[in-house]
Amino acid sequence: MYTVPNLPYDYDQLGAAISGDIMRLHHDKHHQAYVDKLNAAVDAAPALRERPLESLLTDLTSLPESVRMAVRNHGGGHYNHSLFWQWMSPNGGGEPTGELAAQIVARYGSFQGFVDEFTTKSLSVFGSGWAWLQPNMDILTTANQDTPLMQGLDAPLLGLDVWEHAYYLDYKNKRDDYVKAWWDVVNWDMVQERFSAK
């Protein structure tokens, strides 16, 4: 059975950027719903339980058509959100260091250049979706709960949820204010770990 992982911090600890009310709703209700529907999908196709979630998402066309869309949406939702909670920290913000910082600067001219480009792409997502930093330093966006894995790409180093459910309670329609505040809680230690492990 898939389960929602506990937050690595308290609901209220990202408060200046993301309120406890949003975190409770987003983690306890939205993520739980993805997990429940993913479990229902694999109950309907039990052979899928033999494979790790990453394997399912990387090769959606190998799945029975009857559950493919459910795994795409809800498996993607579970995968993305399980990472998203870790990509934020009450001690977050600041800038990456070392080789990661060097590669960001090599590609985007400066850390601020990267922030600006990632922000622009995040704001360009029409409707619901995500923005990603990839190990090759590309910045991508996906719709809905799609992940880069589904496009045959590497697992992302960093991702930002720009669904309205991620910010509307605090920011109403002001996605730009949400993205701006989010940089203050980005857990660069986690990004660094994923970069080093790639």
Which of the ranges 45-53, 66-74, 120-128, 160-168 carries the binding residues for Mn ion, by CB under 5 A?
Answer: 160-168
Half-sphere exposure (Cβ direction) of 49: Cα atoms closer than 13 Å: 10
Please report how close the Cβ of residue 74 comes to Mn ion at its closest, in angstroms.
12
Closer Cβ to Mn ion, 87 or 163, answer by number: 163
Interface segment toward Mn ion; rule CB under 5 A; list 91-99, 130-138, 166-174, 181-189 = 166-174
> CA quadruple 101, 105, 106, 107: dihedral positive or negative?
positive
Residue nearest to Mn ion (CB): 161
d(CA 120, CA 50): 40
Judged by CB under 5 A, the stretch of 5-13, 88-96, 122-130, 154-162 that binds Mn ion is 154-162
Closest separation between CB of residue 81 and Mn ion, Å? Answer: 6
Q: Which two tokens stand for residue 112?
A: 């601020």
CB of 17 to Mn ion, least distance (A): 15
Q: Which residue, 163 or 195, has its beta carbon nearer to Mn ion?
A: 163
Q: How many Cβ atoms sit within 10 Å of the Cβ of residue 156?
A: 25
Q: Rank residues 31 and 121 by Cβ distance to Mn ion and give the closer one.
A: 31
**163 scored as a contact of Mn ion (CB under 5 A):** yes
Structure tokens of 51? 């494979």
Closest CB 109 distance from Mn ion, rounded Å: 31
CA-wise closest residue to 5 among 81, 117, 92, 115? 81
Query: For residues 167-196, which are near Mn ion according to CB under 5 A?
Result: none
Contact yes or no for 136/128 (Cβ under 8 A): no
Give Cα 177 to chain centroid, integer Å: 18
Is there binding between residue 161 and Mn ion (CB under 5 A)? Answer: yes
Report CA-CA distances (Å) from 57 to 8, 35, 61, 126, 162: 24, 14, 9, 23, 20
Q: Which residues bind Mn ion (CB under 5 A)?
A: 161, 163, 166
